């Protein structure tokens, strides 16, 4: 049975952008876990974190993982924290090929510094928070089947690279 292409990595790595590109170029379904949660909850991620809390968000995220693994094969953009739940990791690995979109802290920060929609990046020094999250999570992301370096590549280059490695 064909498997999903699963994109994992930090916020700002380009999971949603590359996922959307692949879906359009290769005519395959696109599942963006964050957008699915927003649609189901009729609220933004920031609003969900603020009103219902992180634990609630993670519960919804897990529900979406269940939903997508039983949907027709396509490309799945996970959220930066989806793999924190070991059951998400094993389900996604079972049903897909995981690509870790590995981006440098500098690239992530350049993309995120003006954004206000990432509730986990708060406090006096959000860049330090980002660095801490990256350090804490790197080993989880490295559980992916393949690592792809993002720095210096366009969305098209990344998309074609993923497509050529998808097995
Ligand atoms: C999160 C990343 C976000 C979103 C939420 C939590 C995280 O997704 O799921 O804000 O824990 O890193 P992106 O990686 O798509 O920004």
pLDDT of residue 116: 85
Q: How far apart are CA 77 and CA 8, in angstroms?
A: 7
Give the residue whose CA is nearest to atom 15 of ligand 1.
79
User: Over the stretch 86-126, which tens digit does the pLDDT of each residue have?
Assistant: 999 999 999 999 999 999 999 999 999 988 889 898 788 99
Torsion, Cα 78 83 85 87, to 10 degrees, reads 90
Q: Can you give the residue range of the structural domain that contains 17?
A: 4-165
pLDDT of residue 166: 79
Residues with CB under 6 A from ligand 1: 11, 15-16, 34, 45, 79-81, 118-120
pTM above 0.90, yes or no: yes
CA atoms within 13 A on the CB side of 111: 16
* CATH, residue 17: 3.40.50.300
Q: Is 3 annotated as a binding residue?
A: no
**Number of structural domains the chain divides into:** 1
Q: Is 9 annotated as a binding residue?
A: no
**What are the strands of the beta sheet with 96-102, ordered from one edge?**
30-32, 75-77, 4-8, 96-102, 146-149
Write down the mean pLDDT value for the chain: 95
What ipTM, to 2 d.p.? 0.97
- Angle at Cα 33 formed by Cα 96 and Cα 70, nearest 5°? 45
């Amino acid at each position: 049975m064909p498997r999903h292409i699963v994109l994992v990595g930090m916020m700002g790595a380009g999971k949603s952008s590359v996922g959307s590109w692949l879906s359009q170029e290769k005519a395959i379904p696109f599942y963006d876990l964050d957008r699915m949660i927003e649609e189901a909850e009729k609220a933004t991620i920031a609003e969900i974190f603020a009103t219902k809390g992180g634990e609630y968000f993670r519960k919804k995220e897990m529900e979406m993982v269940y939903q997508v693994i039983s949907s027709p094969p396509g490309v799945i953009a996970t959220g930066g924290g989806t793999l924190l739940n070991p059951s998400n990791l094993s389900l996604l690995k079972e049903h897909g090929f995981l690509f870790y979109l590995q981006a440098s802290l500098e690239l992530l920060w350049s993309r995120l510094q003006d954004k206000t929609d990432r509730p986990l990046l708060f406090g006096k020094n959000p860049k330090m928070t980002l660095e801490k999250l990256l350090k804490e999570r790197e080993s989880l992301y490295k559980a992916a089947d393949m690592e792809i370096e993002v720095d210096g590549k366009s969305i098209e280059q990344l998309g074609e690279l993923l497509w050529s490695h998808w097995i």
